[in-house]
Structure formats: C-alpha cells, structure tokens
Amino acid sequence: TQLLEQSPQFLSIQEGENLTVYCNSSSVFSSLQWYRQEPGEGPVLLVTVVTGGEVKKLKRLTFQFGDARKDSSLHITAAQPGDTGLYLCAGVAGNQFYFGTGTSLTVIP
Amino acid sequence: SQTIHQWPATLVQPVGSPLSLECTVEGTSNPNLYWYRQAAGRGLQLLFYSVGIGQISSEVPQNLSASRPQDRQFILSSKKLLLSDSGFYLCAWDPGQGFEQYFGPGTRLTVT
C-alpha cells in the first residue's frame, strides 16, 4: 500500500522559475523527510520536519509540514540546473518509513 | 561520522546466476538496516529490513534473501537471478529511532 503520493510525477521547467512539489497522505506521520537523488546515486537527506505547521528553509528551498502532519510541500525559488533530480518524501509512522512515489525535476538552462 | 558502503557499484549477471550484494556501515553500532530496489526515476520498494544480527524481515516475497552476519553488515542474495531482478539496489541505515535514513551509493544490477 502506497501511503504517500507525490505530485507532480514529472516536472520540467526553465531556469529561474519557481515550483512546488506536494507529498500527500491520509495517514498521520510523526516526522517527514525530503530527499534528493541524482541519477546513479543514493538519495541524500535534505530536511526533516516534525511539528505540524513547521516551515524550514534551506537556501532557495522551503519545506512545510501540514498542520495535521499528513502532508508536506517543497517549494523551490528561482530553480537552477543543479536542482535537477528525483525528489522523494518519506514519512515515519510507528517507527516505520514510508517513501513517496517521487517527483522527477528537470531544470533547463 | 558515519559512512555507508555498497559494492559492487555495477554488476551484469546472466539469468540463473547467483547474486551477492554487500553493505557495510561504519561509525555507529546496532543500526537498523534496509535493502530497497528502485525502478528508473521512481520511488523506493522496501525489500528487507533488519533491527539486529540475524533478524531479517521480508516485505516482498521473491527469489531474493537477506542476511545480517555482523552488526554493521547486510547482504542481499539470490540463488538464481531472474530478468525482473534488474534494477538499482540501495542499502540504508537509521540509528534505530525511526527518525532519518541514510543511503549508500547503490548498486546497478543488470540481468541479461
């Protein structure tokens, strides 16, 4: 059972544009992580959010955890080609990890 | 600091041949360990996880198996590979608190 649905599945944008990726579930999570994965490499942890409504910023990336801790979003401002990759969310419930379906982002120079 | 290693990085094997992928973690003790498989550009499929030596839980019935002979070593095996076993295999660990996972560099397996 896939608990976490990400949208969009694929996204291709021009350099300098803004974008938002969504991670949605009907389940409640104690924490949620976002990872970025480049082709041929393992996912790299970007951020962990644990409190409902929490907002964290990492340079041009803004992460938000939903008030009910069922969903999250990742917003990228002024995207750059180096942001290209697969973005994965992962929720933790009962010490079990549930990974999202992934969003493949391509930023065109 | 903790590091996680996987080898080999790439592997091409014929159908019906055996498989052994190895994962080791350094700089921590008693980690939870995971094996995932990933189709191109998609999410992760959990195959096995282990909370301690000799303790293996299987998520997906298949012709793969896993073993944990030492605290920081996790091995993925098969006696006879199928074409459908091709994919990108990732090992991951967490400190046992169900908080964050850290991934190895992965192994690209092609079964021909």
Percent of chain B having pLDDT more than 70?
Answer: 97
Q: How confident is the model at residue A14 (pLDDT cuts 50, 70, 90)?
A: very high
Q: How far is B91 from chain A (nearest CA, A)?
A: 9
Contact between A6 and A99 (Cβ < 8 Å): no
Give the 3-state DSSP-derived string for A42-91, with helices as H, strands as E and coil as C: CCEEEEEECCCCCEEEECCEEEEECCCCCEEEEEECCCCHHHCEEEEEEE
**B55 pLDDT above the threshold of 90:** yes
Q: How confident is the model at residue B43 (pLDDT cuts 50, 70, 90)?
A: confident
User: Which residue in B41, B46, B103 is closest to A86 by CB distance?
Assistant: B41
Residue B88: closest CA among chain A residues belongs to which residue? A40
Residues on chain B touching A102 (C-beta within 8 angstroms): 41-43
Question: Any chain A CB within 8 A of the CB of B1?
Answer: no
Q: Is the peptide bond before A8 cis (omega within 30 degrees of 0)?
A: yes
User: Which residue in A2, A42, A90 is closest to B105 by CB distance?
Assistant: A42
- Amino acid at site A78: A
Question: Any chain B CB within 8 A of the CB of A109?
Answer: no
- pLDDT, residue B61, reads 65
Return d(Cα B94, Cα B102) in angstroms, integer. 6
| pLDDT tens digits for range B5-39 | 999 999 999 999 999 999 999 999 999 999 999 98
Question: Any chain B CB within 8 A of the CB of A24?
Answer: no
Return d(Cα B94, Cα A1) in angstroms, integer. 22
- Amino acid at site B61: P
